[in-house]
Structure 1
Amino acid sequence: MKTITKYISFLVLMALVLTSSCEKILNKEPTDKLSLEDLFKDTQGAKTALAGAYKSLLSSDTYQKNLMIYPDIMGGNIKYFKTSNTIFDDIYNLIQSRNDCTLNSTYQELYSQLNNVNNIIKYTPSASGPAAEKNRLVAEATCIRALLHFNLLKIFARPYQYTSDASHVGIVINLKPQLYGDPSPQRSSVAQSYLAIVTDLKSAINGLEGNPVFTTGYQVNYFNKTAAKALLSKVYLYSDDFADAFALADEVIKDPNYRLLNNNEYVASWVGRKPSAESIFELAIENDFSGNSIGNYYDLNDAMYGQFAATNDLLNLYSTTDVRGKNTMFNSKTINSTTFYATKKYAQGSLNATPVKVLRLSEIYLIRAECYAQANNFTLANADLNTIRKRADPAATDLGLSNKTDLLNAIYIERRKELDFEGNLLFDLLRTKQGINRTDCNAQTCTLPFTDYRLIMPLPAATVNANNVIIQNEGY
């Protein structure tokens, strides 16, 4: 029997917790790797690992850049306001390859994070401490595992709707720690991949009872039962399970702890680090944060990192009275006689970086609207759609669409307007079989049908994650 020394990645052991005041769980950061037995001897160690798992979501390969920018630059919300020192060129020009793709690092990072989260799920139950606290720790880690798998599935596999039964190839589902020497895991079908994510979230929802693990700071920086339901509702939507997506969206909307912002509150909700009333799950930024962040790339005055502006494709969707339009939610700058507009959702980085919003209540309203429309309940679908439209634009007239196709298209357009720069556009296009049609675009290729292989990121030719585990890859 082989003997394996078990270690958890240094990244997860960084002593930090995501709270509004960004207090540290420990005062001293570790200087070397720590054995799993030592780390998980009690719930304090498990909390340290869970805090590290939340923090890892804010790497540049995940929500601090790649996961947020990729769907919008590919889908048509983003163009460049400069011509040199740009990133995502391969994706923008649709020339990515297995050996050279911007998202290769994201693939490796997500699987590395999965291995760390699986350590929390496996070893926390044997730690000393109250059973209720351990159950909550495992449930939150399980939510993170589901989120990681969901991101991998959206990027590296064809959408659920590609085959009638979603039997086409999906991703590697990692539900236990992978150690050096273990057999390389194999890819599941898309249907199996979605089932694993759903199973994790349903299990987590049942375990998210009792007191929160972290009691300081803002609770929207951690998974709770409502956040897990919101994520599961979105997962169901992506797999065309409209009945279950509706049921959970309806529960979330009726939760009294959240509310839609009014028109006057909307712009200010994207400034500063205090969560808004409609934020369901967001990733906190430490008060002393000073590094590079997603906001640097949208900063028109950042000479080093700034490069991304909104396309006319997007800007032209807004009326002049829409609070989300270019006069209110975009900064502008004229460069070489051309005026560019960059989003205020993430307007600056470094010391002025703001939290990354992963799930907001407005998206849940639009999920419920789509589910109503799919069930031919056009009256209530229009009502939810109008709630979001008129929140943003009080001058808008009520829609009363009675044609299902027209109503669904109106909802898809509203999702693009409401959720721009939040990492959704490409995936909405793919799950609704629309492909891409970028008109304000100077890439080599700007339009592709839903079936084109270039709309799915290639798996790296060979991947060894941070735990020296080979993730088996077989092309697209």
Structure 2
Amino acid sequence: MLQLSIHKKIIAGLLLTGCTFTGCRKLVEIGPPVNQVGLDQSFESDATASSAVLGIYNASNTRSFIFPATILPGLSSNEVQNNVSSPGYDEFKQNAITITNSNIANVLWYYPYYTLAQINAMMAGIERSGSLSPAVKNQLLGETKTWRAFVLFHLVNYYGAVPLPLTDDPIGNATLARTPATQVWQRIITDLKDAVALLSDTYPSVLRARINRQTANALLARAYLYTKDWQNAEATASTVIGSGIYSLSPDVNTAFVNTSNEIIWQMATLTGVSIYTSNTDAAGGSFAAASGTVPAFSLTDTLYNSLEEGDLRKANWVAPTVIGGTSYKVMTKYKLRVLPSGTTTGNEFNVVLRLAEQYLIRAEARAQLSNLSGAIADADTIRRRAGLPMLDNALSQQQVLLAIEKERKAELFGEWGHRWFDLKRTPSIVSPADKTRADDVIGGMRPATWNVTDILYPIPDAQRTANPALTQNLGY
């Protein structure tokens, strides 16, 4: 899995990225080799410890971490299309991924495990330190536990059973076998419950660019939903909604502005332009493109056509653009491509969590608990903002659940792989009990290449060569 040499790079990288924007020069001056002692030095004061943990945010707020987490699952779910020919992307689009696919090996596996090594190193340093004030120690532990749960959430959804490193021991972590998915989910929930107890509602940074208690609660509500713990999903989403901190943006056009009160957590950028739109070079990959050129990625006609007529999200979050006689459905949740003339900073970051999702989590949980009127009320909260008519109160339970699935598709497209995860976690409505909505939807669209085992991605072949303890997923 992670090699010792990678671990050394991580420790060095943490010390550098944590100080990139904070000026802690002493930690990067020429001196003794970077080792555990060097890392522990960064936890000798509240200021240097906070700077070190910021290294996780800085290192993760990159195109290599954020963009693929939307694009690759989006290709799998037929939500996104690649407009630049690439076998590595085509395999996702066709649900025919090979064990040597570079996106699997270098992006969806490597970066999450690189980040986990960072997080575990930070947690160990915080816990060993005897110099931190109780308030800062709790805040930093709460942030790192939330980060670990966030990364594990993506890994378990990509691969199912995965290695579960919980220490900063690079040798032991390099030979871990896969932990069953149920145990990974339990660790996610445990970390988030710990984080809720450690954190406060006060954000430790401006513009909600760092984690607070409700960030952990929002992820916890999602984890409960995915593990079918409907009562806790409803209760935890209600905690976030009822916290009094957040409110839906009244205008869909301002939902992703970095001052939006709808945002629960976002990753800041130095320029104020989102990673999703800042690279207009097609070779670099983006939802944006220079005028008159084809974007590297766009939304599919299937996604666009599924949005209801009159939906303000269809009118404002998608821009059909004709280039060379072909209509490309460009995602425009983020409005800025470049900085406006005369400005030095934009007003958009990379949104991770929004209040809208919490209403949809609670709606689904309530429907599963047979509280159909409450489920419809929550779904209607989102539909009202989108300018759509309210749902029929006479809908059956299955009809309500399908309406919520459709609403999640319309509200959360182009964000962190939601559509793919929803399809693969939801039982089929037309097939045997062991099938999923992915079989219904993607299997129907791509019968020549779809297999029931495609809901999990393959373990990278190179990782299995490096670590013989890793087994392969079925179908690969």
TM-score when normalising by structure 1: 0.83
The one of 210, 213, 226 equivalent to 1:222 is: 210
**Matches of residues 178-217 of structure 1 in structure 2 within 5 Å?**
178-180=169-171, 184-209=175-200, 214=204, 216-217=205-206
**Matches of residues 82-97 of structure 1 in structure 2 within 5 Å?**
82-84=83-85, 88-97=89-98
Tell me which residue corresponds to 1:98.
Answer: 99
| CA distance in 2 between partners of 1:116 and 1:372 (Å) | 37
Per-residue deviation, residues 302-355 of structure 1 (Å, max 9, x unmatched): 789932222222112223321100x32222321232221211124555766942
The one of 252, 255, 264 equivalent to 1:269 is: 255
**Matches of residues 417-456 of structure 1 in structure 2 within 5 Å?**
417-422=410-415, 423-432=417-426, 433-435=436-438, 437=441, 445=446, 452-456=452-456
Match of 2:65, SS? coil
Q: Which amino acid aligns with 2:358?
A: I
Tell me which residue corresponds to 2:117.
Answer: 115
| CA distance in 1 between partners of 2:113 and 2:127 (Å) | 22
Per-residue deviation, residues 179-203 of structure 1 (Å, max 9, x unmatched): 2366611111111111111111111
Identify the structure with the greater helix proportion: 2
Q: Which amino acid aligns with 1:318?
A: L
Tell me which residue corresponds to 1:404.
Answer: 397
The CA deviation at 1:267 is 0.9
Asked if the contact 1:293–1:353 (Cα under 8 Å) also holds between the matched residues in 2, the reply is no
Closer, same or farther: CA 116–176 of 1 in aligned 2, 3 Å: same
Closer, same or farther: CA 124–44 of 1 in aligned 2, 3 Å: same
Closer, same or farther: CA 362–181 of 1 in aligned 2, 3 Å: closer
Tell me which residue corresponds to 1:74.
Answer: 76
Match of 2:99, SS? coil
Tell me which residue corresponds to 2:264.
Answer: 280
Asked if the contact 1:331–1:344 (Cα under 8 Å) also holds between the matched residues in 2, the reply is yes
Asked if the contact 1:299–1:347 (Cα under 8 Å) also holds between the matched residues in 2, the reply is no
The CA deviation at 1:439 is 10
Residue 18 of structure 2 is aligned to residue 24 of structure 1: no
Q: Which amino acid aligns with 1:35?
A: N
**Matches of residues 285-304 of structure 1 in structure 2 within 5 Å?**
285-287=269-271, 296=280, 297-301=286-290
Residue 370 of structure 2 is aligned to residue 384 of structure 1: no
Tell me which residue corresponds to 1:139.
Answer: 142
| CA distance in 1 between partners of 2:464 and 2:52 (Å) | 22
Asked if the contact 2:18–2:53 (Cα under 8 Å) also holds between the matched residues in 1, the reply is no
| CA distance in 1 between partners of 2:201 and 2:355 (Å) | 23
Match of 2:252, SS? helix
Match of 1:188, SS? coil
92-101 or 365-374, larger mean C-alpha shift: 92-101
Tell me which residue corresponds to 2:433.
Answer: none
Closer, same or farther: CA 301–399 of 1 in aligned 2, 3 Å: farther
The CA deviation at 1:473 is 2.3
31-40 or 400-409, larger mean C-alpha shift: 31-40
**Matches of residues 254-265 of structure 1 in structure 2 within 5 Å?**
254-262=242-250, 265=251
| CA distance in 1 between partners of 2:272 and 2:370 (Å) | 50
Closer, same or farther: CA 288–35 of 1 in aligned 2, 3 Å: farther
Tell me which residue corresponds to 1:167.
Answer: none
| CA distance in 2 between partners of 1:77 and 1:121 (Å) | 37
Q: How many residues in Structure 1 have an aligned counterpart in Structure 2?
A: 439
Per-residue deviation, residues 229-266 of structure 1 (Å, max 9, x unmatched): 0000001101111111111001100011100111xx22
Closer, same or farther: CA 281–403 of 1 in aligned 2, 3 Å: same
The CA deviation at 1:89 is 1.9
Tell me which residue corresponds to 2:430.
Answer: none
Tell me which residue corresponds to 1:148.
Answer: 151
| CA distance in 2 between partners of 1:377 and 1:293 (Å) | 40
339-348 or 129-138, larger mean C-alpha shift: 339-348
The CA deviation at 1:448 is 6.8
97-106 or 33-42, larger mean C-alpha shift: 33-42
Percent of aligned positions that are identical: 25
Residue 252 of structure 2 is aligned to residue 252 of structure 1: no
Q: Which amino acid aligns with 1:457?
A: Y
Per-residue deviation, residues 1-59 of structure 1 (Å, max 9, x unmatched): xxx99955333223458xxxx95353688367633323333133322221111122223
Tell me which residue corresponds to 2:224.
Answer: 236
Closer, same or farther: CA 254–71 of 1 in aligned 2, 3 Å: same
| CA distance in 2 between partners of 1:144 and 1:27 (Å) | 26
| CA distance in 2 between partners of 1:471 and 1:113 (Å) | 22
Residue 366 of structure 2 is aligned to residue 372 of structure 1: yes
Q: Which amino acid aligns with 1:308?
A: F
The one of 322, 326, 330 equivalent to 2:311 is: 322
Per-residue deviation, residues 425-461 of structure 1 (Å, max 9, x unmatched): 01100111201535998xxx46776x62223111112
Tell me which residue corresponds to 2:470.
Answer: 473
TM-score when normalising by structure 2: 0.83
Asked if the contact 1:435–1:448 (Cα under 8 Å) also holds between the matched residues in 2, the reply is no
| CA distance in 2 between partners of 1:125 and 1:202 (Å) | 18
Asked if the contact 1:15–1:29 (Cα under 8 Å) also holds between the matched residues in 2, the reply is no
| CA distance in 2 between partners of 1:229 and 1:376 (Å) | 23
Segments of structure 2 that go 5 or more residues without pairing to the other structure are 281-285, 340-345, 427-435
Match of 1:425, SS? helix
Q: Which amino acid aligns with 1:205?
A: V
Closer, same or farther: CA 125–410 of 1 in aligned 2, 3 Å: same
Residue 312 of structure 2 is aligned to residue 344 of structure 1: no
The CA deviation at 1:294 is 6.8
Residue 463 of structure 2 is aligned to residue 463 of structure 1: yes
The CA deviation at 1:125 is 2.5
Asked if the contact 2:11–2:121 (Cα under 8 Å) also holds between the matched residues in 1, the reply is no
Segments of structure 1 that go 5 or more residues without pairing to the other structure are 158-169
Closer, same or farther: CA 337–86 of 1 in aligned 2, 3 Å: farther
| CA distance in 2 between partners of 1:257 and 1:210 (Å) | 8
Asked if the contact 2:274–2:336 (Cα under 8 Å) also holds between the matched residues in 1, the reply is no
Asked if the contact 1:382–1:401 (Cα under 8 Å) also holds between the matched residues in 2, the reply is no
The CA deviation at 1:464 is 9.4
